[in-house]
Structure 1
């Protein structure tokens, strides 16, 4: 098991990270233990709107603001799977508690509730996720690929997607614009 679980933390890609899947990304870690880590990229829109995703799973909704909500590109792993990141303490059929009032749900029932106006107060849908094998994330952290920041609800649900990378780093006083896009080791 890692010395400290980083679940409910944000991984903020440093400018030197040039992997196209993660460059300038912010990842909410949902799970982190001895077997590895899993998270959702929370600052990249996919090409889909929520209405399209709901339609693909046979759900219709008359709420235009819900239909027009961007769907996040949650990561390169399982891009066909939907993940609903939401607030509240309610557990749906398949929910994982990340923090006291933060959950990730992969079951259809949360989407059905959202279309009826009975879902979580704040929710975003992502397609795909990010994952790391045992020790892989710890290695990347040691290589200065990421910085970690405690997650907060404002960043996850209120800030515009394009502002999240810089804002997340700013939460711990890091100005990414002043950092070099390469890393070195002494």
Structure 2
């Protein structure tokens, strides 16, 4: 993927929202980037549980009988675009015959019902998160936000995405870069 602006391809990276971003939907957000090209970018927020939607409730709404234990599994807010559309970010041990996107060697993303049916049968990918909606950027939009210091970019890891508590992911992502969260300010300056 050649990014015309000279920016780096961020596919498979994480975006960390800077304090004072201005959009409450992205406050302290950690976004896993599924795709980034000259045509735009698509990512999934991995640290914002939906609050009231469980996997069991989502499956029942789709007329899919859930496996035991899914009533405790939270669905996440993946972003403000197409909030009614579901995505599953997961380990590469699952591939849909239809539309699994292999992002890199550690992450796949599937946005079709077959992955939900597999999860409902009790045979999910080893690691997975379900999201409603996604974060999307048009051509050049993300590059503009990066130039305005709205986001930091760090490497993604399955441990950060799947094993770290949602409330700790923002700070853990910063720590992975060696940046203590308390040193960040919402106020910009000029030199």
TM-score scaled by length of structure 1: 0.95
Pairing 1:1-80 to 2, within 5 Å after superposition: 1-2=2-3, 3=6, 4-46=8-50, 47-64=52-69, 66-80=70-84
Pairing 1:157-172 to 2, within 5 Å after superposition: 157-172=162-177
How far apart are 1:116 and its partner, in Å? Answer: 1.5
How far apart are 1:89 and its partner, in Å? Answer: 4.3
Mark the runs of 5 or more structure 1 residues left unpaired by the alignment.
Answer: none
**In the alignment, is the contact (CA less than 8 A) between 1:16 and 1:183 conserved in 2?**
no
Match for residue 150 of structure 2?
145
**In the alignment, is the contact (CA less than 8 A) between 1:15 and 1:176 conserved in 2?**
no
Structure-1 separation of matches of 2:163 and 2:68 = 19
Please identify, of 53-62 and 130-139, the stretch whose mean Cα deviation from structure 2 is larger: 53-62
Q: Deviations over 1:107-156 (max 9, x none)?
A: 11111111112221111100000000111111111101100001000011
- The count of residues paired between Structure 1 and Structure 2 equals 185
Establish whether residue 87 from structure 1 lines up as the match of residue 88 from structure 2: no
Structure-1 separation of matches of 2:93 and 2:119 = 15
Match for residue 104 of structure 2?
99
**In the alignment, is the contact (CA less than 8 A) between 2:67 and 2:121 conserved in 1?**
no
Structure-1 separation of matches of 2:170 and 2:44 = 14
**In the alignment, is the contact (CA less than 8 A) between 2:55 and 2:73 conserved in 1?**
yes
Going from structure 1 to structure 2, the CA distance change for 1:107 and 1:9 (only over 3 Å counts) comes to: same
TM-score scaled by length of structure 2: 0.93
**In the alignment, is the contact (CA less than 8 A) between 1:10 and 1:28 conserved in 2?**
yes
Going from structure 1 to structure 2, the CA distance change for 1:33 and 1:185 (only over 3 Å counts) comes to: farther
Task: Give runs of ≥4 in structure 1 deviating > 2 Å.
Answer: none
